[in-house]
Amino acid sequence: MEISNLLIRKFLANSCTAAEAEQVAAWLKTHPKALDAFLKEDWDHAPGQESLESDLRDAMWQAIRDQTTAADHQRSKIIWMKWAAVAASVLAVLAIGYGLFYNNNKEKDPGATKTLAVKDFAPGGNRAILTLADGSAILLDSVHNGILSQQGNTRVLKLNNGELAYHSSGEKPGEVQYNTIATPKGGQYQVILADGTKVWLNAASSLHFPTSFAGRERRVEITGEAYFEVAHNAAMPFIVKNGDAEVRVLGTHFNINAYNDESAVKVTLLEGQVNVTQVNAHRSQLLSPGQQASMHVNSDIKVNGNVDMEAVMAWKNGLFNFTSADIKTIMRQVGRWYDIDVSYEGNLPEREFSGKISRNTNASNVLKILEQSNIHFRMENKKIIVMP
């Protein structure tokens, strides 16, 4: 089976019919490398050379999202797994194609600037994948609003404001079922659990939770960063777990930062009271509002009572907010939000940065502000290189 360049362009532009989309999908599974030749040829003739890697990547993902639902607009659930192989192969080809395009540009314009490339990175947005108890996955940023699934006594809904919500009927649940919502780099999302607890997930984070709560406790597990507004229930404590760290509450507001590339797990309390525990070390600490607990491996729990709460909660409020932060701390946040890799060259000066920057701006605007302190940057493909 052969696929025409016109049909490929229609697929990338998300203008295929359902039948055409299925045809292209089947072709991609068996001929992933053939798309490489198409991209090379198409880019050489692209007006203004606008087909950069991330643009094509976004177009491909959008095409996959939309065309998956094209065959049946009444379906509210996307079975994502059947597209995973296609997406992976296409993204690999796109990366190869962009490398050729970028090298060609350098040859045609040897005097191009090396500080900030023409290519820019757009900010993240509401993006997440929900994995149901049966292993099927739903791409939340493209699925229609309404009921997504019925799991036991709980309905899973996407609300009109884009939030994910779990509504329990109140009947006694049968076997406990677990879901996982995960945000990619460049993503964030909000979910309302069956008990009314609200959770905001930052980029590159996940929440593993039961579809309804039963028994003597409400237990969830996270990776990355999340902000919780826990519904009060004195008879059923709410427990958040990350590795060896646990946060136990009855009803309160707190933020937990537990990224693997950070030096410590940090729990910051805004309202109420929480008990922070290192399970294996049998260490615990009770926090009051305004306090932050830092948990390092093989170390006591450290409590800071002088916390910049605006800086802690900035990500939820659409801001980067730094107070005496070093460049690597800043770039870890930048990398997660713009879905880019960061590397370093040379001996960087020891400088601290303070200030607020909107997360709703392109990456280049953030870097231009940082460059005012004699830190320089170079963009290459999906990477930012930090230089003195």
85-138: per-residue pLDDT in tens? Answer: 334 334 433 333 333 323 333 333 333 334 444 468 999 999 999 999 999 999
Task: Identify the burial level of 88 via C-beta atoms within 10 angstroms of its C-beta, where 0-12 means exposed, 13-18 middle and 19 or more buried.
Answer: exposed
Residue 364 — φ and ψ, nearest 5°?
A: -60, -35
Distances (CA, A) of 184 to 49, 73, 188, 202, 368: 28, 26, 8, 9, 25
DSSP assignment of 52-108, as one string?
A: -HHHHHHHHHHHHHHHHHHT-TT-----THHHHHHHHHHHHHHHHHHHHHHHHHHHH
CB–CB of 321/356 below 8 Å? yes
Residue pair 327/368 in contact by the 8 Å Cβ criterion: no
276-312, pLDDT tens digit by residue?
Answer: 999 988 899 999 999 999 998 878 899 999 999 999 9
- Which pLDDT value is given to residue 190? 98
pLDDT value at residue 97? 35
Of 83, 119, 77, residue with least CA distance to 11: 83
pLDDT of residue 115: 43
CA pair distance 201, 100, nearest whole angstrom: 36
* pLDDT for 42: 45
The Cα 194–Cα 170 span in angstroms is 10
DSSP-H helix ranges across the chain = 5-12, 18-30, 34-44, 53-70, 81-108, 309-313, 327-338, 363-370
pLDDT < 50 positions in the chain: 13, 39-40, 42-118
Element (H, E) at 379: strand 376-380
Give the separation between CA 28 and CA 90, rounded to whole angstroms: 8
Candidates 260, 264, 262, 288; CA nearest to 274 is: 288
pLDDT at residue 23, rounded to an integer: 73
Q: Output the pTM of the full model.
A: 0.70
The pLDDT value given to residue 53: 42
Question: Is the backbone of residue 192 left (phi > 0), alpha (psi -120 to 50) or beta?
Answer: beta
